[in-house]
Amino acid sequence: MAPRLPIVPVDTSLVVGFRYACRPGCGLCCYAEPLVPPADRLPLLRRVPEIHLVARGRDEFLAARPEGGACQLLAGNRCRAHPVRPAPCRQFPIAAHLGGRLQATVVLSCPGVDLAGLGAYRGPASGDPSPDFDEELAALRGRIDAGTPRRLAEGLRRRDRLRREFARDGRWEEEEEVRARFRRAIPDAGPEEFPAEAPPARADGLEHLPLSFDGRDGPVAWAAGLGGWELWELRPDGGTAGPVGVASPPTRPPPLSDAGRRSLQGYLRYWLDRDLLFGVVHLAMLEGSDGTVGAWVEAELRSIAALVLSRASVRATIQRGSVDRLTDDDVLAGIRATDQDLLDRPTWGSPL
Ligand code: SF4
Ligand code: SF4
């Protein structure tokens, strides 16, 4: 008899309202080394016997090509093992955070996700997600195993320890109180949040650079250059196809169109509803000696806004030469260039 899998509900309320269709020729999510769960190993080996797996701890990953290249199975921007690609690839662009619950969220860096409605986002919605995500959510549910309830319980224990520690100093605030407060007045990035980030150097390794899709053959990587930020097109086989352009990052918040501001605020509201935000904030609070949860969330939202505007501004400047106002499309491109990096930050919870 097959072992009974634990029942762990997946909160999909942050998926409701989005539409999605993978964009042929994109390949952005394949510039990675995906985890190969044990159940996916044999089907993959049967289809491509020569695959190169790398072990890290007890897990195995599909090796990417060196120098920032794509996964070894990407050929002509298509997956050579598409029907048997490992679960994390089937699941993308859904990411799941295991904290006090298993919460699914949409990775907004994926250019197949329609962001047109983001400006109208007000909070988690009830109802069923679009069938566009049926396969991805099935892959996510398929990853729930005997260890998932244990990891959830451990997450809750960690959160309780943090609550006790911060409550002693009067720093603790419950998520829902903080969410309600900031939903009413979402913070803006101020001049003090700029410059938003120091660009990493290309010499740090192409595989460590932030990536985004820009309609080219490979993703563009963001790196430090003489003029501030440079964009480089990555090649699937490794290395770069050359610079796309260079631009200085803004030193104060760039002016925004009304539609651009609505999209940015919708994005920040979406972040507010991600449990991962609180996982990141609680962890950061351990390093800082003061400030309540609300104060740290405000700082985090302001820094997210600054990051989006900074990358949007660099990209728009490279495309148009000069920018007097960021359009809605600019802001959405800034969100796409930012979301995956922000989702990858450490938290006290864990990804599924
Ligand atoms: S990033 Fe999105 S659109 Fe691009 S290949 Fe991956 S799933 Fe498809
Ligand atoms: S296994 Fe296929 S889908 Fe997954 S990263 Fe590699 S090429 Fe992309």
140 Cα to the center of ligand 2, angstroms: 16
pLDDT above 80 for 117: yes
- Distance from Cα 111 to the centre of ligand 1, integer Å: 6
- Residue 192 in any domain: the answer is no
Distance (angstroms) between ligand 1 centre and the Cα of 213 equals 9
- How many angstroms is it from 73 CA to the middle of ligand 2? 6
Q: Assign residue 76 a region: left if phi > 0, alpha if psi is -120 to 50, beta otherwise?
A: left
Per-residue pLDDT at 267 exceeds 70 = yes
Judged against a pLDDT cut of 80, whether residue 3 lies above it is answered with: no
Position 217 scores a pLDDT of 83
In which band, very low, low, confident or very high, does the pLDDT at 1 lie, cut at 50, 70 and 90?
Answer: low
Distance 89 CA to ligand 2 centre (A): 6
DSSP class of residue 129 equals P
Judge whether 92 and 22 are in contact, CB under 8 Å.
no
Average pLDDT over residues 241-270: 96
Is pLDDT above 90 for 77?
Answer: no
Residue 115 within a domain: yes
Containing domain of residue 84, as a range? 10-143
pLDDT score for 289: 82
In a mutational test of the pocket of ligand 1, which residue from 20, 29, 108 has the highest number of ligand atoms less than 8 Å from its CB?
A: 29
**Exposed/middle/buried for 228, CB within 10 Å: 0-12, 13-18, 19+?**
middle
State the average pLDDT over residues 181-194.
95
What's the pLDDT score for residue 65?
96
- Does 194 fall in a domain? no
Closest ligand to Cα 91: 1
The number of the ligand 1 atom at minimal distance from the alpha carbon of 21 is 3
Verify whether ligand 1 is closer than 6 Å to residue 26 (CB atom).
Answer: yes
Q: Say if 39 falls within a structural domain.
A: yes
Helix (H, G, I), strand (E, B) or coil at 291: coil
Position 123 pLDDT exceeds 60: yes
In a domain, 276, yes or no: no
Nearest to 302 by CA among 199, 191, 212, 203: 191
- Number of domains the chain contains: 1
Q: Is 27 in the pocket of ligand 1 (CB under 6 A)?
A: yes
On whether residue 349 sits in a domain, the answer given is no
Instruction: Give the pLDDT confidence of 88-110 residue by residue, as tens digits.
Output: 999 999 999 998 899 999 999 99
89 lines ligand 2 (CB under 6 A): yes
Residues 6+ apart with CB under 8 A from 176: none
Counting atoms of ligand 1 from 1, which one is nearest the CA of 92? Answer: 7
Counting other chains too, the contacts that 142-148 makes at CB distance below 8 Å and 24 or more residues apart are 142/87, 143/37, 143/87, 143/91, 143/352, 144/5, 144/6, 144/8, 144/10, 144/102, 144/352, 145/5, 145/6, 146/3, 146/5, 146/6, 148/6, 148/8, 148/98, 148/102, 148/352
85 ligand 2 Cβ < 6 A: yes
According to DSSP, residue 197 is labeled -
* 23, 106, 114: residue to mutate for ligand 1 pocket, most atoms within 8 A of CB: 23
Q: Hey, which of 62, 80, 213 would you mutate to test ligand 2's pocket, going by the most ligand atoms within 8 Å of its Cβ?
A: 62
- Domain membership of residue 327 (yes or no) is no
Cβ–ligand 1 contact at 28 (below 6 Å): yes
Distance, in Å, from the CA atom of 138 to the CA atom of 229, rounded to the nearest integer, reads: 39
Residue 339 lies in a domain: no
Q: According to the model, what pLDDT value does residue 2 have?
A: 58
Is residue 23 within 6 Å of ligand 1 at its C-beta?
Answer: yes
